[in-house]
Structure 1
């Protein structure tokens, strides 16, 4: 009988979910919503079918209010328990952090890094960063999750990744690039000013934070309540358009 896989970060049982793979097969991915991470066995991250992306969006949206734990300082492979090696990859969406098993059992990615890898984000312009900075002080880096004070920093001080946003147009282009033949996002290609985009993201994040406070009276110890989560806000923003 197979053992339940453990999250590489918190070492709690991961949720095993089935996703469609290219060629008609299926993949089983290990997800930890509390740590916002996915475990991929070798090559699984490149074999996800485009239709599985919408399924993943739906899951992330459904768990948007879950309490989030910070990643452990030492991540371990769920197969051999060896420490994972932190590294960096570059994709069209920019630079992102990944954690690999030295024995080649697979890799661990945060939800944000996975979105960067698949090109579902675009870099924020300087005007958009300045518009957000007038409304919030600190955001979470899409790539590594580090706190970025966008009033003074226009890139992540920890992984040096450019600040990125999950955006309807970027998602639509990425799905097209991956050859999606099924249901297509009907996001309007209307022009959005930096101020309008900042207002929309702040409103969505405030709504999400309000829902979380209602479900949990005590926030997770050590979490910075003033830190703005671009991944969560972006997922909500895109999902609201996909479901129109």
Structure 2
């Protein structure tokens, strides 16, 4: 068994979480919630069972309000410490970014890239981005984690990744039939307004938690839904929407 690896980006120890593989064996994934990334040893990304995806969503939902940071410009393999090569894979739902070890020890993938790979995330259309830009001042890039002003940019100016969001309808379709938590009729897909509402609610949760930690008492007027100055997290908002669908 490999020792607990360090995150390729922040170099802090990753958390090991056990899942069931599609062959019924135990599969251990290493996760960094601060960097919103997963380390897959060779071919592990292809071995996760459908039921384990439900468990992964549960973890993402539990950590949806965690503080996270942009990915480092240079990342190293946690097995051999060689530099990871940035590249792209393409699936039906779009192109996604991954970081591979040249010695074939594995790959590092952001949460959103993994969801694109599995068909749960799709790239946003231009009208959706424009609609969301009227409600939210900025978002975190779901690929590199950098804050992006979507009123000016329609792709991340740092890594050039397209903005993407979790597609609740696709998730329900994927889960249907093999996960009790999602064995229901497909729900109406979330609209851009739904995502905007989720971002506003998410920011309110974060502001409330910060006030409690700092033990401050002040009015919440500045966090009114009309305030579009905060930075939203499309992935966290999408996870919240999907989890609500799965639990209904």
Bin the TM-score by the shorter chain: 0.7 to 0.9
Say yes or no: does 1:53 pair with 2:50. no
**2:38/2:110 contact within 8 Å kept:** yes
CA distance in 2 between partners of 1:168 and 1:192 (Å): 6
Match of 2:205 in 1: 208
Name the SS for the 2:57 alignment partner: helix
Quote how far apart the aligned CAs of 1:193 are: 5.0
CA distance in 2 between partners of 1:123 and 1:229 (Å): 15
Match of 2:154 in 1: 154
| Residue correspondences, number | 234
> Could you report, residue by residue, the CA deviation over 1:65-110 in whole angstroms, capped at 9, with x for unpaired residues?
2221322222111110111111111122211111110100000011
> Could you report, residue by residue, the CA deviation over 1:194-233 in whole angstroms, capped at 9, with x for unpaired residues?
4x3244223332233224424654xxxxxxx832210011
Change in 2 beyond 3 A, CA 1:163/1:146: same
Match of 2:247 in 1: 243
The more displaced of 154-163 and 127-136 is: 154-163
Q: 1:189 aligns with which of 176, 187, 190?
A: 187
**1:187/1:242 contact within 8 Å kept:** no
Quote how far apart the aligned CAs of 1:138 are: 1.6
Match of 2:31 in 1: 31
The more displaced of 198-207 and 229-238 is: 198-207
Name the SS for the 1:23 alignment partner: coil
**2:195/2:237 contact within 8 Å kept:** no
Quote how far apart the aligned CAs of 1:34 are: 1.2
Change in 2 beyond 3 A, CA 1:12/1:192: closer
**1:128/1:198 contact within 8 Å kept:** no
Match of 1:12 in 2: 12
Change in 2 beyond 3 A, CA 1:144/1:96: farther
CA distance in 2 between partners of 1:158 and 1:211 (Å): 30
Say yes or no: does 1:230 pair with 2:234. yes
Q: RMSD of the alignment, in Å? A: 2.4
Match of 1:164 in 2: 164
